[in-house]
């Protein structure tokens, strides 16, 4: 049963990618841009969470529960201040603004908290538990569980709630949605909030396994982006599936090769997939006919 711990740790890493990947897709649906600052928002939120833990002495679980609403406020505020005023301009300009936010958050974290890595207390028990004769880390199980709960909540929200349906409508056809009385501008703010909330949760989930420092999310946002593209950037479930697949594939390749080779392998694979299926693995591109 040596495959089970490997599969679970792959799925756990894939879950972190998936939360970031989902955040990127949600923002892309609303603002038509890849938010390069997504990882830095997560990193910044994780630092704030760590300070709340140390200064206010809040229990870890409370901080995890607070992450989503606090992240939401931060994301919504960023959208209102930085994105909304230029959202009518070219999408590339919005992209550069997210790069600007990347630098601002990245250096602000360094200025406030310094450049040394911090330890983050474990959210889950650290003793491995035996499942079917294999030692499994509870942290992996916990990360997968939290992610699954969030994904289920997102699914219910987008498919079965009134506001979720309005958000989907705004993304499909903003003009028609506006005619139906949906405030399309507010949808963008909510999307940024939702995305920031999800990414702060992902930062807090991964923090105990790595360290909290300024650079903690840089490779993760790349993988989240790549995984979402692999699955299909236009669909939330496809993007999440692509991220999970990327996490598992990396875990298996990682046993055979060095970590830099692992990255190159992942990207070579993605290019190959895009050549064969331009819309991602799980999304069928409608053929355009003239």
Residue 144's contacts (CB-CB under 8 Å, 6 or more residues apart) are 8, 11, 12, 15
Structure tokens at 140: 């992996």
DSSP state of 235: -
Per CB under 8 A, 263 contacts other proteins:
yes
Binding part of the chain for other proteins, among 160-168, 196-204, 220-228, 241-249 by CB under 8 A, reads: 220-228
Strand, helix or coil for residue 41: helix
Comparing CB distances to other proteins, the nearer of 61 and 92 is 92
| Count of CA atoms in the C-beta half-sphere (13 A) of 288 | 1
Give the integer Cα–Cα distance in Å for 209 and 212: 9
Least separation in angstroms between CB 122 and other proteins: 31
Per CB under 8 A, 60 contacts other proteins:
no
Give the integer Cα–Cα distance in Å for 101 and 41: 9
Per CB under 8 A, 192 contacts other proteins:
no
Going by their DSSP bridges, the two strands 134-136 and 129-131 should be labelled as antiparallel
Phi, psi dihedral angles at 102 (to 5 degrees): -55, -50
CB of 72 closer than 8 Å to CB of 194: yes
Alpha-carbon distances of 243 from 22, 95, 173, 258, rounded to whole Å: 9, 22, 27, 20
Residue of 12, 48, 94, 216 interacting with other proteins (CB under 8 A): 94
- Binders of other proteins among residues 266 to 285 (CB under 8 A) are 267-268, 270-271, 274-275, 278-280
Binding part of the chain for other proteins, among 5-13, 78-86, 118-126, 149-157 by CB under 8 A, reads: 78-86
Binding part of the chain for other proteins, among 57-65, 137-145, 151-159, 221-229 by CB under 8 A, reads: 221-229
Residue of 99, 129, 131, 172 interacting with other proteins (CB under 8 A): 99
Give the integer Cα–Cα distance in Å for 147 and 11: 10
Strand, helix or coil for residue 50: helix
Binding part of the chain for other proteins, among 57-65, 67-75, 108-116, 192-200 by CB under 8 A, reads: 108-116
Per CB under 8 A, 61 contacts other proteins:
no
Binding part of the chain for other proteins, among 4-12, 167-175, 185-193, 256-264 by CB under 8 A, reads: 256-264
Least separation in angstroms between CB 217 and other proteins: 14
Per CB under 8 A, 108 contacts other proteins:
yes
Per CB under 8 A, 110 contacts other proteins:
yes
Give the integer Cα–Cα distance in Å for 63 and 165: 30
Q: Looking up tokens 């190159």, which residue turns up?
A: 264
Comparing CB distances to other proteins, the nearer of 70 and 246 is 246
Per CB under 8 A, 89 contacts other proteins:
yes
CB of 67 closer than 8 Å to CB of 204: yes
Binding part of the chain for other proteins, among 14-22, 63-71, 100-108, 168-176 by CB under 8 A, reads: 100-108
Q: Which residues bind other proteins (CB under 8 A)?
A: 28, 34, 36, 82, 85-86, 89-90, 92-97, 99-108, 110-111, 222, 225-226, 229, 233, 260-261, 263-264, 267-268, 270-271, 274-275, 278-280, 288, 290
């Amino acid at each position: 049963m040596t495959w089970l711990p490997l599969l679970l740790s792959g799925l756990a890493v894939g879950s972190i990618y998936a939360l970031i990947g989902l955040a990127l897709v949600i923002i892309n649906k609303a603002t038509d841009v890849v938010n390069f600052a997504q990882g830095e928002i997560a990193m910044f939120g994780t630092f704030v969470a760590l300070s709340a833990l140390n200064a206010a002495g809040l229990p870890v679980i409370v901080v995890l529960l607070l992450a989503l609403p606090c992240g939401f406020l931060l994301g919504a505020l960023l959208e209102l201040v930085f994105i909304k005023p230029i959202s009518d301009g070219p999408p590339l300009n919005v992209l550069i603004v997210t790069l600007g936010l990347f630098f601002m958050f990245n250096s602000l974290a360094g200025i406030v908290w310094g450049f040394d890595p911090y330890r983050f207390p474990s959210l889950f028990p650290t003793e491995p538990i035996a499942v079917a004769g294999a030692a499994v880390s509870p942290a992996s199980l916990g990360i997968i569980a939290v992610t699954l709960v969030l994904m289920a909540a997102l699914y219910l929200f987008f498919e079965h709630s009134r506001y979720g349906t309005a958000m989907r409508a705004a993304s499909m056809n903003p003009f028609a949605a506006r005619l139906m009385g949906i405030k399309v501008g507010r949808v963008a703010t909510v999307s940024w909030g939702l995305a920031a909330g999800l990414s702060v949760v992902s930062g807090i989930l991964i923090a105990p396994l790595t360290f909290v420092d300024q650079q903690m999310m840089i490779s993760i946002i790349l993988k989240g982006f790549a995984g979402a593209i692999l699955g299909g950037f236009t669909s939330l479930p496809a993007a999440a599936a692509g991220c999970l697949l990327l996490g598992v594939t990396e875990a298996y390749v990682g046993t055979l090769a060095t970590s830099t080779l692992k990255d190159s392998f992942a990207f070579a694979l993605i290019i190959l997939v895009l050549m064969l299926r331009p819309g991602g693995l799980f999304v069928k591109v409608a053929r355009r006919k003239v």
